[in-house]
């Protein structure tokens, strides 16, 4: 029964795609926008920010848009089921908000050519209805690295990494390079948590870093647990808000933050679908485009360091500085970027190496 329904819908979809090209170009009266989240909205970080974007879409278009979402969808076969369900349930555009949804998104998109799919942080666009979008978080990491290099007293800085994917490796490299630039003695410890969201494990990872003498912690996981752990040291250890501002730790360890702001992109894409100007895209905006925000740098940071970090932020926003500007060698000493050369996007999106000076290996 289900298969028959599915086939009918697929056939219907195919028919629509063939005949409906003109109709689509003329726009739509009503759009159902659906969101798939990897964690709970209440994580206070990554998923929370995506949900803020979804709410902004609702706000912007009112009753012309129906927003639907599902939380805590595991990356893998379950995601494929959820996506199929959403496509069958009348979603016109589906945003899949985690790297691990890449294969399910493309697989389901191939079956539903009349539904638009938008995959966050991925690079695979196998069919015409799949777009990808991402934010240049490494720009924010450059600002964090500058603060970390200046603020560390033990010269040991830490990074709680999630999974060994280019996105994360890029962040580690940018963070380290900019800490090293202002403080040549700095050493980086990386802990791989192998999770996006597990507060207890994130707290343990932060504790392990603190036990090793690390006094500045950046994290690439979704919850506020590392900051809560740093808060127990009464100011000896500082950290950064990740994905969301995490302003509740402002009077504690949080000295700045990277804020993901997906709202402009979501509003733009759903708006394009409504007015008929929608086209496949590969979006990768950064500080300049407003997708990456740098949260307020608190008074715990000396004024001159704050000014230096803000100058870095403004230079990146203005396009006068690229966080990966040569000369930069790879970890094994071989040359990556020559003097003055900036990293091509292709290199960044496939980044699977540490830069020179970082110890340890990236898990394969």
Partner 1 sequence: MEFGGINPVILIASLMVAAVPIMLAALGELVVEKSGVLNLGVEGMMIVGAICGFITAVQTGSPVMGFLGGAVGGAALSLVFAFLTQVLLANQVATGLALTLFGLGFASLMGQGYNGIKPPPTLSVPMGPLADIPALGPILFDHDWMVYMSIALVAVVWWVLKATRLGLIIRAVGESHEAAHALGYKVNRIRLGCIAFGGAMAGLGGAYVSLVRVPQWVDGITAGAGWIALAIVVFASWRPWRVLIGAYLFGGITVLQLNLQAAGSAIPVEYLSMSPYLITILVLVIMSSGRGRAALNAPASLGQNFHAAR
Which of 158, 253, 286, 293 is close enough to bind partner 1 by CB under 8 A?
A: 158
- Examine residue 356 and tell whether it contacts partner 1 (CB under 8 A): no
Kindly identify the residues of this chain, within the stretch 213-272, that bind partner 1 according to CB under 8 A: 214, 223-225, 228-229, 231-232, 246, 248
Report d(CA 106, CA 126) in Å as an integer: 6
Which of 69, 95, 137, 197 is close enough to bind partner 1 by CB under 8 A?
A: 197
Could you tell me which stretch among 15-23, 110-118, 211-219, 346-354 binds partner 1 (CB under 8 A)? 211-219
Could you tell me which stretch among 37-45, 166-174, 258-266, 268-276 binds partner 1 (CB under 8 A)? 37-45
Residue 326's alpha-carbon distances to 6, 130, 135, 304, 343, in angstroms, are 52, 34, 22, 26, 8
Of the two residues 97 and 106, which places its CB atom closer to partner 1 in the complex? Answer: 97
Dig out the tokens for 150 from the structure.
Answer: 């200046």
Of the two residues 138 and 249, which places its CB atom closer to partner 1 in the complex? Answer: 249
- Examine residue 72 and tell whether it contacts partner 1 (CB under 8 A): yes
Of the two residues 232 and 322, which places its CB atom closer to partner 1 in the complex? Answer: 232
Which of 66, 204, 296, 347 is close enough to bind partner 1 by CB under 8 A?
A: 204
Report d(CA 141, CA 202) in Å as an integer: 19
Could you tell me which stretch among 5-13, 192-200, 272-280, 338-346 binds partner 1 (CB under 8 A)? 192-200
> Number of C-alpha atoms within 13 angstroms, CB side, residue 331?
13
Helix (H, G, I), strand (E, B) or coil at 255: strand
Which of 13, 36, 38, 43 is close enough to bind partner 1 by CB under 8 A?
A: 43
Q: Which of 205, 221, 219 is nearest to 254 (CA)?
A: 219
Report d(CA 140, CA 295) in Å as an integer: 10
Angle among Cα 57, 275, 293 to the nearest 5 degrees reads: 35
Dig out the tokens for 355 from the structure.
Answer: 């830069």
- Examine residue 38 and tell whether it contacts partner 1 (CB under 8 A): no
- Examine residue 74 and tell whether it contacts partner 1 (CB under 8 A): no
- Examine residue 205 and tell whether it contacts partner 1 (CB under 8 A): yes
Structural Rg of the chain based on CA atoms: 21
Smallest gap from residue 231 Cβ to partner 1 (A): 8
Kindly identify the residues of this chain, within the stretch 106-135, that bind partner 1 according to CB under 8 A: none
Which residue carries 């707290």 as its tokens?
203
Of the two residues 91 and 362, which places its CB atom closer to partner 1 in the complex? Answer: 362
Number of Cβ within a 10 Å radius of residue 199 = 18
Report d(CA 354, CA 102) in Å as an integer: 24
What single DSSP character describes residue 349? Answer: H
Could you tell me which stretch among 77-85, 202-210, 287-295, 318-326 binds partner 1 (CB under 8 A)? 202-210
> Number of C-alpha atoms within 13 angstroms, CB side, residue 45?
24
Binding residues (CB under 8 A) for partner 1: these are 39-44, 71-72, 158, 189-192, 194, 197-205, 207-209, 211-212, 214, 223-225, 228-229, 231-232, 246, 248, 359-361, 363
């Amino acid at each position: 029964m289900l298969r028959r329904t599915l086939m009918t819908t697929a056939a219907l979809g195919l028919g629509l795609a063939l005949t409906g090209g003109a109709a689509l170009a003329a726009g739509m009266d009503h759009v159902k926008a659906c969101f798939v989240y990897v964690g709970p909205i209440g994580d206070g970080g990554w998923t929370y920010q995506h949900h803020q974007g979804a709410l902004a879409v609702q706000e912007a278009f009112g009753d012309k848009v129906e927003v639907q979402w599902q939380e805590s969808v595991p990356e893998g076969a379950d995601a494929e089921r959820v996506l199929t369900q959403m496509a069958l349930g009348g979603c016109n555009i589906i945003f899949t908000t985690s790297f691990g949804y890449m294969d399910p998104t493309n697989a389901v998109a191939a079956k539903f050519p009349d539904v638009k799919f938008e995959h966050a942080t991925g690079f695979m666009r196998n069919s015409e209805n799949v777009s990808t979008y991402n934010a240049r978080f490494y720009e924010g990491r450059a600002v964090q690295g500058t603060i970390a290099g200046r603020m560390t007293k033990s010269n040991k800085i830490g990074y709680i990494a999630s999974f060994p994917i280019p996105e994360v490796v890029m962040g580690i490299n940018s963070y380290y390079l900019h800490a090293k630039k202002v403080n040549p003695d700095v050493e980086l410890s990386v802990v791989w948590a192998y999770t996006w969201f597990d507060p207890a494990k994130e707290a343990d990872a932060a504790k392990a870093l603190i036990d090793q003498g690390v006094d500045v912690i950046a994290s690439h996981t979704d919850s506020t647990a590392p900051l809560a752990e740093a808060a127990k040291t009464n100011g000896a250890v500082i950290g950064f808000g990740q994905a969301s501002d995490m302003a509740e730790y402002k009077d504690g360890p949080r000295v700045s933050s990277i804020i993901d702001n997906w709202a402009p992109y979501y509003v733009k894409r759903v708006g394009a679908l409504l007015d008929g100007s929608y086209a496949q895209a590969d979006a990768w905006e950064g500080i300049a485009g407003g997708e990456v925000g740098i949260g307020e740098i608190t008074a715990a940071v000396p004024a001159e360091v704050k000014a230096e970090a803000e100058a870095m932020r403004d230079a990146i926003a203005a396009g006068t500085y690229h966080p990966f500007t040569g000369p930069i060698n790879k970890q094994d000493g071989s040359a990556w970027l020559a003097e003055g050369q900036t990293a091509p996007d292709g290199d960044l999106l496939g980044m699977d190496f540490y830069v020179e000076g970082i110890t340890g290996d990236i898990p394969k």
